[in-house]
Amino acid sequence: MITTFQYALQQDNITIEQLLRDDFQVGKKVMHEMRMAKSVLNEAGEPMVWQHHYPKGTNLTFNVNVEPSSYVATNVCEVPILFEDAHVLIVSKPADMATHPNDPGQTGTCMNHVISHVNKQGGVYAEHVHRLDQGTKGLVLIAKHPLIKSMLDRMLEDKQIIRTYEAIVDGFMTQKSGSIRTSIGKDRHDSARRAVSPSGQTAITHFEVVGQDANFTKVHVILETGRTHQIRVHFSSIGYPITGDRMYGSRTRADNYSLQAKKLQFTHPITKEMIVVEDYK
């Protein structure tokens, strides 16, 4: 299946290769595939010359080859969609729902619901750019075609997508803002857990206290890295586990732990709009 969209050059005297490499930051493999497939056309439907310099305002048509995603669609999409355009979706994943299937044919995950929505629009492709733990609720960014997926993956790696979380932790935090910079690796005693480990991967979590009482503290958290269970591990390691997170030491009994992906902010790599989406639920 081919996904088509239009784009007007926003710079003067630029080649198609420069646009894809420098502006869109498309990887070499995807760029080579697009060049071989003659995926970029002019207004007459003719392939663009990749090394020719084109003026600002030149109208391009992108024909992106799309292989269908493998998720089994639910009958109805029950995941709230908070933002959508021709390229991306931002959805609000409920707590106790996995982001994506872990086994072939698995249903009921966030991506099963999302592909149902996309299919009903005539699309076949949807892939998450990042994931949330099953117990974490909130915003998930999803690509609607492989080109934007490649671009967003690079942006995430380069820390150009700002993810803000809101958490309630046990205890009264005396430090009102700061950063936790301790590496995270697998727990040697429990494969489902992660732990602070000198031999683990670098992990950096920034936080700011936004409210508290004698027993609990509400914090806003920005991830600089995205390790498995990062926020949960980091706050537990400094003595303030996420409220209700029994896996990481909370003594508060709750149906789920209190962690939400609250806000996503990034410059849209194609439209260049500043996208800011907040989840108020």
Q: What is the pLDDT of residues 85-102, one digit of tens each?
A: 989 999 999 999 999 998
Q: Are 236 and 140 in contact (CB under 8 A)?
A: no
**Identity (one letter) of the amino acid at 98?**
A
- Quick check: is 133 catalytic? yes
Give the pLDDT mean for 271-278.
Answer: 94
* Distance (Å, whole) CA 26 – CA 24: 5
What is the pLDDT, as a whole number, of residue 234?
97
Which tokens hold the place of 34? Answer: 């697009």
Give the pLDDT mean for 165-175.
Answer: 95
Judging by DSSP bridges, how do beta strands 137-143 and 88-93 pair with one another? antiparallel
List the domains of the chain with CATH numbers.
Answer: 2-65 (3.10.290), 81-158 (3.30.2350.10), 163-261 (3.30.2350.10)
Helix (H, G, I), strand (E, B) or coil at 98: coil
pLDDT above 90: percentage of residues in the chain: 65
Q: What is the pLDDT of residues 132-149, one digit of tens each?
A: 999 999 999 999 998 899
Note every long-range contact of 185-188, with CB atoms under 8 Å and residues 24 or more positions apart, other chains counting.
none
Confidence of residue 242 (pLDDT cuts 50, 70, 90): very high
What is the pLDDT, as a whole number, of residue 275?
97
* Distance (Å, whole) CA 268 – CA 160: 10
Name the least confident of 17-21, 102-106, 220-224: 102-106
Q: What is the pLDDT of residues 195-236, one digit of tens each?
A: 999 999 999 999 999 999 999 999 999 999 989 999 999 999
* Distance (Å, whole) CA 64 – CA 49: 17
What is the pLDDT, as a whole number, of residue 27?
78
pLDDT above 70: percentage of residues in the chain: 100
- End-to-end CA distance of the chain, in Å? 36
What is the pLDDT, as a whole number, of residue 154?
87
Confidence of residue 188 (pLDDT cuts 50, 70, 90): confident
Give this prediction's pTM: 0.86
What is the pLDDT, as a whole number, of residue 246?
92
| 27 compared with 140, residue with greater pLDDT | 140
Catalytic choice (103, 133, 170, 279): 133
